[in-house]
Structure 1
Amino acid sequence: MSALALAGTAQAEDACGSTPAGWNAPNGAVVFDRSFGPIRDILDAIGEYRTHSMLSHGPGATVSHATMANPSQEPSPEVCGKPMSGFDLRYGYPGLEQINQGGIYMNLYGKDSGPEWTGWQQGNPSQAALIGDSLWFNHAYVSDRSRVDLGQYIDRPVRNGARVNYSLFQYRVVETAHQIPGGAVNGGMVCSTFMAYAHNYAGRGVVTPHTYSHAQLANAVNSLYTGVFNECKESLGWFTGAMLTMACPSSNVCGNAGNQVANCMSTNQCDTADSRPWKGVRDDPHATAISISPDRIGGWGVHPLDNTIWGPDYSHQLQWNSGGNVYGCWQ
Structure 2
Amino acid sequence: MRRLLAGSVAVAVLALAGTAQASGECGSVSAGWNAPNGAVVFDRGPGPIRDVLDAVGEYRTHSMLSHGPGAGVTHATMKNPDQASWPGVCTKPIVTSQLQYGYPGLEQINQGGIYMYMYGGGGGPEWTGWQQGDAVHAAIIGDSVWYNHAYVSDLSKFDKGQVIDRPLRNGYRVNYSLFQYRDLESAHAIPGNAANNGLVCSTFMAYAHNYAGRGEVTAHTYSHDLMANASNSLYTGIYNQCKASLGWFQNALLTVACPFYNVCGNAGNQVANCMSANRCDSSDGRIWKSVRDDPNATATSISPDRIGGWGTHPIDNTIWGPDYSHQLQWNSGGNVYGCWQ
Q: Kindly report the root-mean-square deviation, in angstroms, between the aligned alpha carbons of the 2 structures.
A: 1.5
Matched, 1:4 2:14: no
Matched, 1:259 2:269: yes
Alpha-carbon distance in structure 2 between the residues aligned to 1:163 and 1:281: 29
Contact kept in structure 2, 1:97 and 1:157, CA below 8 Å = yes
Matched, 1:25 2:40: no
Q: Call closer, same or farther: CA 1:111–1:247 in 2, change over 3 Å.
A: closer
Contact kept in structure 2, 1:3 and 1:236, CA below 8 Å = no
Aligned residues: 328
For structure 1, the 5+ residue unaligned runs are none
**Equivalent residues in 2 for 1:279-298 (5 A)?**
279-298=289-308
Q: Call closer, same or farther: CA 1:37–1:313 in 2, change over 3 Å.
A: same
Which residue number in structure 1 is paired with residue 13 of structure 2?
A: none
Deviations 1:260-318 (A, max 9, x none): 10000000000111100100011000000000000000000010000000000000000
Instruction: Indicate which of 48, 54, 70 corresponds to 1:38.
Output: 48
Given the two structures, how large is their TM-score scaled by the length of structure 1?
0.96
Which residue number in structure 2 is paired with residue 147 of structure 1?
A: 157
**Equivalent residues in 2 for 1:79-90 (5 A)?**
79-90=89-100
Query: Percentage identity across aligned positions?
Result: 74
Matched, 1:195 2:205: yes
**Equivalent residues in 2 for 1:64-79 (5 A)?**
64-79=74-89
**Equivalent residues in 2 for 1:51-70 (5 A)?**
51-70=61-80
For structure 2, the 5+ residue unaligned runs are 9-21
Contact kept in structure 2, 1:156 and 1:163, CA below 8 Å = yes
Alpha-carbon distance in structure 2 between the residues aligned to 1:59 and 1:266: 38
Alpha-carbon distance in structure 2 between the residues aligned to 1:232 and 1:273: 14
Alpha-carbon distance in structure 2 between the residues aligned to 1:15 and 1:79: 26
Contact kept in structure 1, 2:7 and 2:126, CA below 8 Å = no
Alpha-carbon distance in structure 1 between the residues aligned to 2:240 and 2:272: 14
Alpha-carbon distance in structure 2 between the residues aligned to 1:10 and 1:151: 29
Contact kept in structure 2, 1:2 and 1:10, CA below 8 Å = no
**Equivalent residues in 2 for 1:1-331 (5 A)?**
4-5=4-5, 14-244=24-254, 246-331=256-341
Contact kept in structure 2, 1:98 and 1:157, CA below 8 Å = yes
Deviations 1:31-53 (A, max 9, x none): 00000001111111100000000
Deviations 1:101-122 (A, max 9, x none): 0110011110422001000000
1:245: how far off?
6.5
Contact kept in structure 1, 2:31 and 2:333, CA below 8 Å = yes
Given the two structures, how large is their TM-score scaled by the length of structure 2?
0.94
